[in-house]
Amino acid sequence: MKKTIHVFNAVFDNITTAFFILDILCVILQVFARYILQASIPFTEELSRYMLVAFGLLGMAVCSRKGEHLGAYFIRDKFRKIQPYIFMCNCVILFFVSLALAFGAIDMMALSGSKTASTMPWFPLWALYLFFLISIVLTAVYSVRDFVNLVLVVRGKKEIASGLSTPTKEE
């Protein structure tokens, strides 16, 4: 099971990195065409924008998994004795917010229907909301993972990792 999770994480990280690289290449192509060739490629700006959104959303899930997302560390560090319980509250809040956002993403996918991007008739808009749904579901899964790890911390079977936004190091 751990090997499957590691393979999934590696594939997901590579997909996220690929979106970043493709976004950079798209912007370079756009700048080259506009300033060197004195011509505009219509779809590059919109494609770059969508890839930036997809990269940001998928990156959110990666950061959530690794514990590298932003957090209010001064609260966590001030209350060392109740730190696991503060983390538990964060996990519960994050899970329910993720659940609400996931339902919103599903609604937006349904509302967008067969609409496509204006300069890219081959790109359905529901695909953008699919990236949002995937990243939100993964963030919710990682919050459940963190909550389970916190239960182990409270029972004395694990220790809290210092310097991370999540309670324990990635496994």
Count of alpha carbons within 13 angstroms of residue 44, beta-carbon side: 15
Distance separating alpha carbons of residues 35 and 153, to the nearest angstrom: 57
Q: Which pLDDT tens digits describe the chain residue by residue (171 residues)?
A: 788 888 998 998 999 899 899 999 999 999 999 999 988 888 888 889 888 888 888 888 888 888 777 766 676 677 777 878 888 888 899 899 999 999 999 999 999 888 888 888 888 889 889 989 999 999 899 888 888 888 888 888 777 665 555 555 555
Distance separating alpha carbons of residues 110 and 107, to the nearest angstrom: 5
CA distances, 57 to each of 20, 64, 137, 152 (Å)? 11, 11, 11, 29
Q: Could you tell me the pTM of the whole model?
A: 0.79
